[in-house]
Amino acid sequence: MRFNTKVKNCTLCSELVPHRTNVVLGEGPVPCNIVFLGEAPGATEDKVGLPFKGPAGSLLRADAYAAGLREGKDFHILNMLKCRPPDNRDPRLEELRNCLPFLMHQLSIIKPKVIVCMGRFAQGFVLQKHPREIRVLQNAGKIIKPKRTIKNAKPQAILTFHPAFVMRNKGNNIEEAFIGHLRKARKLACIAQTAK
């Protein structure tokens, strides 16, 4: 079965499946040097079937542009979950586990050089830690080697804020730091590309 069909037919998460309008696979070129990794689709994303299409997505795209990254060329956007949790609640551990093989497959074909881990769920993924153990403010800006083996790729990961958090903290220098992290991702991807 084709990957997209497999995800669309997935019925593993009993609370997510009955409420979803669309599964949200991701958006961007394949392969692609940079992956932006978020949490889960929200209401807008569920409606249109594409990631980060609401206000947090507008901020992400504007800040990526400010960091010199071109949409449709330089980055691919993915989420930990492909289905929207009801009322925008946090993803559950079981749901993250159910969706993990889909994410691993996507990463193995996108083959990123850098994964930008936005928020504690994406950071928990590369650090192999429970999301509750993640200290997003302390981690912000760190570059790490993911503690997971991704088929066909050996990306670095940069840990940063979720765009929704950046949006809620306008005027606190968080956005400047976030743009700095995206710039760092661009540089890391350039370095990895020229070292090939």
| Nearest partner of 46 among 77, 13, 19, judged by Cα | 19
Q: Is 166 in the site for ligand URA (CB under 6 A)?
A: no
57 to 86, contacts with ligand URA by CB under 6 A? 57, 79
Alpha-carbon distance of 116 to 184, in angstroms, equals: 10
Residue 157 near residue 1 (C-beta atoms within 8 A): no
Q: How far is the CB of 173 from ligand URA (least distance, A)?
A: 22
- If the CB atoms of residues 23 and 151 are measured against ligand URA, the closer one turns out to be 23
**Considering the complex, what minimum distance in angstroms separates the CB of residue 134 from ligand URA?**
14
Letters for 23-42 (x = contact with ligand URA by CB under 6 A, - = none) are ---------------xxxxx
- When CB distances to ligand URA are compared, the closest residue is 38
Residue from 26, 28, 51, 91 binding ligand URA (CB under 6 A)? 51
What order do you get walking across the sheet with 75-79 strand by strand?
75-79, 34-38, 114-118, 156-160, 143-144
In Å, how far from its chain's centre is CA 59?
14
Closer to ligand URA by Cβ: residue 67 or 121: 121
Written as one string, the DSSP assignment of 48-88 is HTSSS-SHHHHHHHHHHHHTTPPTTTTEEEEES-SSPPGGG
Q: Which residues bind to ligand URA, rule: CB under 6 A?
A: 38-42, 45, 51-52, 56-57, 79
